[in-house]
């Protein structure tokens, strides 16, 4: 565990000099105990329990009636679940791409040593300060054809103006992505801007001396240097996409019909009104496995990079 | 360093004080439990609904009890909270529930007290209409007290919109309904005001199933185990009629709340809405008068199927005799004629016992009472016939059919598959 070692080093200078370092360590562990217990009991144990439940015929209450893989068979036969998975893929791919792209462009824009930088930074970061529920509700009103933008433009005289994506089953997911990108790209900007600010001024000087155009410097030199930041940004967004729930609930409640259903909503419905715990547990397990499968390669990438930079130093 | 020290002490002192206050508050509540305290979970939070539930609370207080109100917006949320607390060993004294098969499941789990001690001496066997009695009486015992009867099969309309469109009489069958809708649509108003949420679409489908298919097809469909009924021509005709209604719904329908859809009727922007009788509370709140501003009919014609659905209260298991006494007092109060009249007048629903005099009632309540008095019209609600997950699968198939270009045949096959679940 390379991450475990720096911890005491970081603590030691802050601790009073009179105390021996060992005692600090003991108290450190005592202080961490509640967190460790919480992690073990609340997260690990309930994860294991959820996986176990997915093999039972639990309905409203947990039961121990073993049904094998029946819940999974039903899950994958369910039209609603397959729509939810398709929508998740769509949302993940487009919101991550767009968020990163917009965030990067905004970061580059702010990195040009513009005036009133902090003002712009606040404006761009502001949507992120709003919860996804608020974001979803606001966009739902804006996009609602009866009272939102479409109605307003028609009132101004453009009678044929149509913006009814949110109520059409084949375009509603674009609206969800739009809300997600509006909410998330400011945060991407902040992350990438921090990375950009970490790039040594010398790099820029050298590039300028060699007569490399600015855009080329960004894409061929600076961006590769930021690969760690970008990887972190992508991971954060990936996790956010997998559990996307509140924005859909606030915007469309999965409608029209089933057109904007997402897995998290599917799970919550099965726990609640459908009183089908076993099915919800199976769906959660599938999501968990997906998330792990996506995160493991990233973990190895990080380890690989850490080992490489360790060699360099 | 030393300057930082006092702070944690103050914080600790505050924390201890807060803890003491919380404990004191808890002890106070525990202390008053001796005076038949009932903590009641319910989901009646809209304006009209909370006025109605206040009548129940007042009646309970008058009978000497203490009512502790736990109102949770949204039926699903309230039921989930009650179930979680029951499973976790801290149940409320009484909790609202739906007349659904979920209820049978919590009986099987042994989570409820019976209420026979009140039901048998009061003669609920006589008092309650049969479909409702069959529901609250399971295995020879009474497990719930019904508080009102709903019919989800109501058609509401704006008199002004219909008059302007030239619709002079209430439609008496599906064909006349389509003619009326055509006229309203031609007049420029929204013909059918629908909230495009799964449960509302399903409610509309059920109304068409009653109206176009009749009582018999409705029962055969929801009790079918092999799904064959879904593939019959008469059922496919119902599906086609249902989908035909989509032509009369406006583009703003998806994800619209039911009360927003009702507001369109109130504002004379839409012609018809098909929805349960809880819509009436919205009309009342807008000071609209039945028969003058809006009209209503419970299905087509005087012999239309009348759905017996209702809200009930259940009594989570408790060995504490104080709690049991509070529960029995609650059941007595709810079933009393006075509470039934006071509650249902405000709620817009119908009393559970046929022997009460509602006094002067408006047109729609009178129609509801007439429906209640005619057992040949009674049909159970869907929730009483199918389990929640099966109902949800049927709802999925219906919302898919309504919102996509799916053909009638494919929808029929999907429904048949849901029925086989």
Mean pLDDT value across residues A130-152: 88
- Using the Cβ of B386 and the Cβ atoms of chain A, whether some distance falls under 8 Å is answered with no
**Which residues 103-142 of chain A have a CB within 8 Å of chain B?**
140
Largest separation between any pair of C-alpha atoms in chain B:
87
pLDDT value at residue A311: 53
- The alpha-carbon gap from B74 to the nearest alpha carbon of chain A, in Å, equals 11
ipTM score of the complex? 0.74
Question: Which residues sit opposite B37 in a β-bridge?
Answer: B66
> In this complex, which of B252, B253, B403 lies closest to A169 when CB atoms are compared?
B403
Mean pLDDT value across residues B385-409: 91
pLDDT at B221 over 90: yes
Q: Chains A and B: how many Cβ contacts under 8 Å?
A: 84
CB B183 within 8 A of CB B167: yes
Does the distance separating the beta carbons of A279 and B253 come in below 8 Å?
no
Which region, left, alpha or beta, applies to residue B123 given φ > 0 means left and ψ of -120 to 50 means alpha? left
Structural domain of residue A216, as residue ranges? 72-312
DSSP strand pairing (B37-42 vs B94-98) = parallel
Residues in Cβ contact with A216 at an 8 Å cutoff, skipping those fewer than 6 apart: none
pLDDT band at B4 (very low <50, low <70, confident <90, very high): very low
In a domain, A15, yes or no: no
pLDDT band at B17 (very low <50, low <70, confident <90, very high): low
> In this complex, which of A61, A272, A279 lies closest to B109 when CB atoms are compared?
A61
Q: Which chain A residues are within 8 Å of B197, Cβ to Cβ? A: 253, 255
pLDDT at B101 over 80: no
Mean pLDDT value across residues B52-81: 89
pLDDT band at B19 (very low <50, low <70, confident <90, very high): low
CA distance A183 to A181: 5
pLDDT value at residue B15: 52
CATH 3.40.190.10 spans which residues of chain B?
37-150+310-366, 154-308+368-419
Query: Tens digit of pLDDT for each residue in A111-138?
Result: 888 888 888 888 888 888 888 899 999 9
- Using the Cβ of B255 and the Cβ atoms of chain A, whether some distance falls under 8 Å is answered with yes
The pTM assigned to this predicted structure is 0.80
Q: Which chain A residues are within 8 Å of B253, Cβ to Cβ? A: 167
Residues in Cβ contact with B229 at an 8 Å cutoff, skipping those fewer than 6 apart: B217, B220, B221, B235, B419
pLDDT value at residue B237: 95
CATH 3.40.190.10 assigned to B154-308+368-419 = yes
In a domain, A51, yes or no: no
Q: Which chain B residues are within 8 Å of A59, Cβ to Cβ? A: 105, 387, 389
Q: In terms of CATH, what superfamily is B37-150+310-366? A: Periplasmic binding protein-like II (3.40.190.10)
Query: Tens digit of pLDDT for each residue in A215-247?
Result: 888 888 888 888 888 888 888 898 888 889 999
In a domain, A301, yes or no: yes
Count how many domains chain A has. Answer: 1
> In this complex, which of A16, A253, A258 lies closest to B255 when CB atoms are compared?
A253
pLDDT at B279 over 90: no
- The alpha-carbon gap from B205 to the nearest alpha carbon of chain A, in Å, equals 14
- Return the residue matching tokens 């009991």: A41
Mean pLDDT value across residues B335-352: 87
- The alpha-carbon gap from B269 to the nearest alpha carbon of chain A, in Å, equals 12
Percent of chain B with pLDDT strictly greater than 70: 91
Mean pLDDT value across residues B369-387: 86
pLDDT at A13 over 50: no
- The alpha-carbon gap from A254 to the nearest alpha carbon of chain B, in Å, equals 9
In a domain, A173, yes or no: yes
In a domain, A121, yes or no: yes
CATH number at residue A252: 1.10.3720.10
pLDDT band at B28 (very low <50, low <70, confident <90, very high): very low
**Which residues 13-32 of chain A have a CB within 8 Å of chain B?**
16
pLDDT at A307 over 90: no
pLDDT value at residue B27: 45
Low-confidence winner among A144-148, B272-276, B415-419 (lowest mean pLDDT): A144-148
Mean pLDDT value across residues B202-229: 92
């Amino acid at each position: 565990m390379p991450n475990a070692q720096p911890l005491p080093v970081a603590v030691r200078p802050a601790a009073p000099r009179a105390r021996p370092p060992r005692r600090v360590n003991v108290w450190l562990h005592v202080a961490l105990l509640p967190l460790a217990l919480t992690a073990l009991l609340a997260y690990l144990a309930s994860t294991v329990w959820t996986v176990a439940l997915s093999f039972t015929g639990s309905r409203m209450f947990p039961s121990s009636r073993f049904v094998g893989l029946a819940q999974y068979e039903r899950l994958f036969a369910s039209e609603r679940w397959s729509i939810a998975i398709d929508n998740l893929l769509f949302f993940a791919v487009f919101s991550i791409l767009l968020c990163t792209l917009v965030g990067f462009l905004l970061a580059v824009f702010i990195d040009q040593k513009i005036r009133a930088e902090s003002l712009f930074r606040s404006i761009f970061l502001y949507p992120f300060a709003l919860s996804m529920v608020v974001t979803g509700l606001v966009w739902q009103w804006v996009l609602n054809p009866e009272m939102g933008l479409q109605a307003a433009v028609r009132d101004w005289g453009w009678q044929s103006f149509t913006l009814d994506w949110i109520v059409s089953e084949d375009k509603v997911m674009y609206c969800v992505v739009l809300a997600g990108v509006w909410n998330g790209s400011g945060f991407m900007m902040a992350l990438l801007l921090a990375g950009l600010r970490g790039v040594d001024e010398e790099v820029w000087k050298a590039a300028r001396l060699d007569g490399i155009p600015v855009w080329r410097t960004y894409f061929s030199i600076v961006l590769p240097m930021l690969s760690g930041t970008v990887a972190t940004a992508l991971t954060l967004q990936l996790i956010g996409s997998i559990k996307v729930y509140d924005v859909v609930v606030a915007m469309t409640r999965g409608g029209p019909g089933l057109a904007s259903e997402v897995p998290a909503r599917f799970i919550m419905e099965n726990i609640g009104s459908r009183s089908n715990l076993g099915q919800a547990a199976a769906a959660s397990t599938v999501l968990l496995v997906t998330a792990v499968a996506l995160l493991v390669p990233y973990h190895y990438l990080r380890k690989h990079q850490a080992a490489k930079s360790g060699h360099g130093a | 360093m030393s300057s930082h020290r006092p702070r944690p002490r103050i914080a600790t002192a505050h924390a201890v004080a807060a803890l003491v206050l919380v404990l004191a508050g808890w002890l106070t509540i525990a202390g008053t439990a001796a005076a038949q305290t009932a903590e009641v979970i319910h989901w009646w939070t809209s304006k009209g609904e909370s006025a109605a539930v206040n009548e129940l609370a007042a009646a309970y207080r008058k009978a000497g009890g203490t009512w502790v109100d736990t109102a949770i917006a949204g039926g699903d949320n309230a039921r989930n909270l009650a179930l979680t607390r029951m499973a976790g060993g801290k149940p409320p004294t009484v909790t609202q529930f739906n007349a659904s098969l979920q209820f049978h499941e919590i009986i099987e789990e042994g989570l409820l007290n019976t209420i026979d001690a009140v039901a048998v001496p009061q003669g609920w066997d006589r008092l309650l209409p049969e479909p409702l009695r069959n529901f609250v009486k399971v295995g020879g015992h009474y497990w719930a007290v019904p508080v009102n009867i709903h019919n989800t099969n109501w058609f509401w309309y704006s008199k002004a919109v219909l008059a302007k469109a030239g619709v002079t009489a209430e439609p008496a069958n599906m064909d006349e309904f389509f003619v009326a809708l055509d006229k309203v649509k031609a007049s420029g108003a929204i013909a059918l005001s629908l909230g495009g949420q799964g449960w509302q679409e399903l409610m509309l489908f059920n109304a068409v199933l009653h109206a176009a298919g009749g009582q018999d097809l409705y029962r055969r469909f929801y009790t079918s185990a092999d799904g064959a009924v879904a593939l019959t021509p008469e059922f496919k005709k119902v599906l086609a009629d249902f989908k035909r209604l989509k032509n009369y719904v406006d583009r703003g329908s998806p994800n619209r709340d039911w009360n927003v859809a009702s507001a369109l009727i109130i504002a004379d922007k839409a012609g018809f809405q098909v929805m349960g009788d809880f819509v009436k509370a919205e009309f009342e709140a807008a000071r609209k008068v039945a028969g003058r501003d809006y009209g209503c009919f419970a299905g087509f014609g005087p012999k239309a199927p009348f759905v017996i659905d209702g809200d009930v209260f259940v009594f989570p298991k408790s060995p504490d005799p104080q709690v049991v006494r509070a529960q029995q007092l609650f059941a007595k109060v709810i079933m009393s004629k006075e509470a039934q009249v006071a509650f249902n007048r405000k709620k817009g629903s119908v009393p559970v016992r046929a022997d009460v005099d509602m006094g002067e009632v408006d047109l729609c309540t009178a129609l509801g009472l007439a429906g209640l008095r005619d057992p040949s019209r009674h049909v159970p609600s869907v929730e009483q016939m199918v389990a929640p997950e099966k109902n949800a699968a049927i709802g999925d198939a219906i919302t898919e059919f309504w919102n996509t270009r799916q053909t009638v045949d494919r929808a029929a096959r999907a429904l048949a598959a849901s029925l086989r679940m």
